[in-house]
Amino acid sequence: MKKSKILVTGADGFIGSHLVETLVRQGHEVRAFTLYNSFNSWGWLDQAAEDVKGHFEVFSGDIRDPHGVKEAMKGCDVVLHLAALIAIPYSYHSPDTYVDTNVKGTLNVLQAARDLGVKRLVHTSTSEVYGTAQFVPITELHPLVGQSPYSATKIAADQLAYSFHASFGLPVVIARPFNTYGPRQSARAVIPTIITQIASGQRQIKLGAVSPTRDFNYVRDTVAGFIAAMESDQGLGEVVNFGSNFEISIGDTARLIAEAMNVEVEIVTDEARLRPENSEVERLWAANDKANILFGWQPAYAGREGFKRGLVETAEWFVKSGNLSAYKSNIYNV
């Protein structure tokens, strides 16, 4: 794809900030949509790399507001839509705001893209829409099961995205990354939870369920997936998994992190961190053939060795005092 003007929603977040940095380095003109706040904070973009600072435009708004979304999108060729509420425990007690952000917010993006004639829109899904695996590895044909209010709203958003392609010919790709991890991730996710507890000197690591398995995707690979989906002339109207095709339990993940950080730990079950029994997704393992066939994408951090390499890079970022101080490792981050 020629160098394009790209709107990234959720640009202030974990994956979005990495995506903005990579796009800027590739020479694209980037408009970063960040959540408006009175502190004039751009989230993780406030800590963008020195070679990236000053080379992207910021639009502060709210994805729930259709007027602001359309204004932000004007003049853009491509939209990478990452803005969402994603914490599963928070969705248990505040589901209304998930509907507003994930469903209505996505509708605002789709409608603005249709009105403005955007050339390509990559909509972000999640592996949580599959629920507990009914077969593995999970292909894009796996049934969708909303086991939490979060996943239910993401299923709705995905279906809205597809409906705009089917009904209006909107050039949409639905990117479905599995569990992304890496520098800057929120401590509501399990890998930063483990790393920050260890880095803070704790050796009894508090976790929820340790038997569920996940397919962890290093953030560099997820970003490469978004860009591959953006640059390809294939995949319109398609759902595409981005995963490592490697399955590991939460307990074994904790032990691998401890190994990477050269410490011995004891895992302790914290009841507050357990999901309701029928809401826990017990198994996720991605089939990633389709991403390779359509976009030529494959993970650079694949398998156990690739996962450990990604964990080492992640831990190296978290243990820096300036980064670790931004996290409250002694409390449960919902």
7 membership: H or E segment, kind and range? strand 5-9
Residue 330 lies in a domain: no
Q: Do 39 and 167 reside in the same domain of the chain?
A: yes
pLDDT at 282: 98
How many whole angstroms separate alpha carbon 238 and alpha carbon 242?
Answer: 13
Residue 288 lies in a domain: yes
Q: Do 90 and 104 reside in the same domain of the chain?
A: yes
Q: Give pLDDT tens digits for 125-137.
A: 999 999 999 999 9
Q: Do 95 and 32 reside in the same domain of the chain?
A: yes
Q: Structure tokens of 140? A: 């894009």
Residue 1 predicted with pLDDT over 60: no
Residue 39 predicted with pLDDT over 70: yes
Q: Structure tokens of 116? A: 């403005």
Q: Do 41 and 152 reside in the same domain of the chain?
A: yes
Q: Do 238 and 313 reside in the same domain of the chain?
A: no
Q: Do 239 and 275 reside in the same domain of the chain?
A: no
Residue 277's domain is classified under what CATH number? 3.90.25.10
The overall pTM is greater than 0.85: yes
Confidence of residue 163 (pLDDT cuts 50, 70, 90): very high
Residue 100 lies in a domain: yes
Residue 54 lies in a domain: yes
Confidence of residue 267 (pLDDT cuts 50, 70, 90): very high
Q: Do 137 and 201 reside in the same domain of the chain?
A: no
Confidence of residue 115 (pLDDT cuts 50, 70, 90): very high
Q: Do 253 and 291 reside in the same domain of the chain?
A: no
Q: Do 197 and 223 reside in the same domain of the chain?
A: no
Residue 157 lies in a domain: yes
Q: Do 223 and 271 reside in the same domain of the chain?
A: no
Residue 117's domain is classified under what CATH number? 3.40.50.720
Q: Give pLDDT tens digits for 231-262.
A: 999 999 999 999 999 999 999 999 999 999 99
Q: Do 163 and 239 reside in the same domain of the chain?
A: yes
Residue 102 lies in a domain: yes
Domain containing residue 67: 5-183+217-246+283-302
Residue 329 lies in a domain: no
Amino acid identity for residue 69 in this structure: V
Q: Do 175 and 43 reside in the same domain of the chain?
A: yes
Residue 37 lies in a domain: yes
Q: Report how far apart, in Å, the C-alpha atoms of 212 and of each of 120, 202, 250, 304, 323 are.
A: 36, 23, 6, 17, 29
Domain count, the chain: 2
Query: Which of 308, 300, 218 shows the shortest CA–CA distance to 254?
Result: 308
How many whole angstroms separate alpha carbon 131 and alpha carbon 144?
Answer: 7
Query: Is the previous residue joined to 143 through a cis bond, with omega within 30 degrees of 0?
Result: no
pLDDT at 4: 85
